């Protein structure tokens, strides 16, 4: 890759670039149609401008960002303004895109490059940019593709982790229910069970008599102790 010659920061040119972005922001905000083409104007203009500077020379980009964000509501809100400006510089002046655009490129040349790569929108550029990285010398390197087997393996691991979590949650839920039951006295628990059964039976009067008899017997048997209870039940 040909090393670009550093160009001294030119405040006048930086102001021109800043004003272009500010003016176009108004068009973007007031456009009722698809704003993709308007956003691409900023990308092409800024990419061409930045291609004339070495990437390490950051004074011009810092100055432009400062100028265009003076109006914090440039794109409607402060948050939107920060996000849009950050994204604009990522697609126009990131190391990967600089390697793709080339150095000292005119706006016409930038457009030709984007057209050849079929990158028609900002979203297209962002997606394409993820496919590459650059080495220490600024040379473009294609990132290794994630194989289907690798993805399937990850999905399988995620599935197993999910199943393990569900199993643990189910056990915790059961333990919680068991704990709730053990914290309730036997009599209260029996009363609750009988009441639940009674709600589901039509002949509640007859069942109620048997329930009260059984509750009384259970309470008496409990007082006798475990051994006496067994004998009473056998009888």
Contact 137, 1 (CB under 8 A): yes
Contact 126, 91 (CB under 8 A): yes
Q: Say what the pTM is.
A: 0.59
- pLDDT for the residue 184: 46
- The span from the CA of 218 to the CA of 34, in Å, is 78
- pLDDT for the residue 149: 57
- pLDDT for the residue 226: 58
- pLDDT for the residue 57: 83
- The span from the CA of 149 to the CA of 144, in Å, is 14
pLDDT by 10s per residue, the chain, length 235: 445 555 678 899 999 999 999 999 988 988 766 788 999 999 999 999 999 998 888 899 999 999 999 999 999 999 999 999 999 999 999 999 999 999 999 999 999 999 999 999 999 999 999 999 998 888 889 998 766 555 555 566 665 565 555 555 555 555 544 444 444 455 565 566 566 665 555 455 555 665 666 666 666 666 666 556 556 556 5
Residues 132-168 pLDDT 10s:
999 888 888 999 876 655 555 556 666 556 555 555 5
Contact 51, 104 (CB under 8 A): yes
């Amino acid at each position: 890759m040909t090393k670009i010659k550093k160009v001294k920061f030119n405040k006048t040119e930086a102001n021109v670039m800043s004003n272009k972005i500010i003016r176009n922001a108004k068009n973007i905000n007031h456009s009722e149609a698809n704003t993709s083409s308007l956003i691409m104007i900023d990308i092409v203009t800024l990419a061409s401008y930045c291609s004339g500077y070495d990437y390490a020379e950051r004074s011009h980009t810092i100055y432009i960002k400062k100028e265009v964000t003076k109006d914090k509501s440039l794109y409607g809100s402060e948050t939107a303004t920060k996000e849009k400006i950050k994204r604009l510089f990522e697609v126009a002046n990131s190391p990967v895109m600089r390697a793709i655009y080339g150095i000292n490129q005119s706006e016409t040349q930038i457009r030709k490059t984007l057209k050849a790569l079929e990158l028609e929108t900002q979203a297209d550029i962002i997606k394409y940019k993820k496919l590459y990285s650059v080495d220490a010398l600024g040379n473009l390197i294609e990132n290794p593709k994630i194989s289907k087997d690798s993805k399937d393996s990850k999905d399988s691991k995620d599935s197993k982790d999910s199943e393990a979590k569900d199993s643990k949650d189910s056990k915790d839920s059961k333990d919680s229910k068991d704990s709730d039951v053990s914290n309730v006295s036997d009599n209260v628990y029996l009363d609750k069970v009988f009441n639940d059964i009674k709600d589901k039976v039509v002949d509640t009067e007859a069942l109620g008599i048997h329930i009260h008899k059984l509750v009384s017997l259970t309470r008496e048997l409990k007082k006798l102790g475990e051994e006496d209870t067994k004998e009473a039940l056998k009888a």
